[in-house]
């Protein structure tokens, strides 16, 4: 489902972030991407949803070679990949249900289907009572669940999450991971970037470590 082959990434000639990174994530896997702050985890996720193009190397995601992906093909590709950003990126002037719906509306889904899917996600995320609230009116944990619901709105085959529990307490962090496990149980491939060692030990998933820009699998 995700293959990275000898990927190098430099933002400037003298600043190399990734150095010959290679790894694979199989369809239906739940994998943690770990490493210290600045190790390159966020860069890898940005490469995987085609937010960046590697300096060299090859990335194949959901059967698409990202090096040969044309500009017109990117929106279609991104419908297959849900992304939970580290800072949520919720729209402050839209309600919870509107934030979730926006991901579906841009793909041209019929309004009746959007309404139905949003209601389902609100129920799955225990957000029904917050549907008309704005991001600033809800807690950090609730904002995170909205971000996850938005990422899953188009039923992507892959979910990428960047430090999704970074600002949450251990109890809420575990709740968020259980939500990911539920999506994974239904067939979604999950890749979560985190530095939360305690959480990784509790979940017992496969780990890919990024250390000084290199990948180490174990």
CA-based torsion, 154, 159, 162, 166: positive or negative: positive
Structural domains of the chain, ranges and CATH numbers in brackets? 1-80+159-218 (3.40.50.300), 92-155 (no CATH)
pLDDT in tens, the chain (218 residues): 999 999 999 987 778 899 999 999 999 999 999 988 888 999 999 999 999 999 999 999 999 999 999 988 988 898 899 999 888 889 999 999 999 998 887 777 788 888 999 999 999 999 999 999 999 999 988 999 999 999 998 889 999 999 988 878 888 888 889 999 999 999 999 999 998 888 888 998 999 999 877 777 65
**β partners of residue 215:** 210
CB contact at 8 A, 48 and 78: no
- Mention every residue, 6+ apart, whose C-beta is less than 8 A from residue 205: 30, 31, 32
Report pTM: 0.90
The whole-angstrom separation of Cα 136 and Cα 149 is: 17
Output the CA torsion 202→203→209→211 (10° steps).
Answer: -30
Helix axes 140-151, 111-124, angle to 10 degrees: 140
């Amino acid at each position: 489902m995700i293959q990275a082959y000898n990927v190098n990434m430099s933002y400037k000639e003298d600043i190399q972030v990734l150095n010959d990174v290679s790894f694979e994530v199989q369809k239906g896997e739940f994998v943690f991407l770990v490493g210290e702050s600045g190790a390159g985890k966020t860069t890898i996720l940005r490469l995987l949803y085609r937010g960046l193009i590697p300096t060299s190397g090859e990335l194949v995601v959901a059967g698409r070679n990202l090096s040969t992906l044309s500009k017109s093909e990117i929106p279609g590709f991104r419908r297959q990949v849900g992304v939970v950003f580290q800072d949520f990126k919720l729209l402050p002037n839209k309600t919870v249900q509107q934030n979730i719906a926006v991901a579906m509306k841009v793909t041209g889904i019929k309004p009746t289907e959007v309404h139905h899917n949003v209601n389902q996600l609100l129920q799955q995320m225990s957000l029904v009572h917050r549907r008309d609230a704005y991001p600033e009116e809800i807690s950090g944990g609730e904002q995170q669940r909205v971000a996850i619901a938005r990422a899953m709105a188009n039923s992507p085959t892959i979910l990428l999450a960047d430090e999704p529990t970074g600002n949450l307490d251990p109890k809420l962090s575990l709740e968020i991971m259980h939500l990911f496990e539920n999506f994974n149980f239904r067939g979604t491939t999950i890749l979560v970037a985190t530095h939360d060692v305690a959480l990784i030990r509790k979940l017992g998933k496969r780990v890919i470590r990024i250390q000084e820009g290199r990948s180490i699998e174990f």
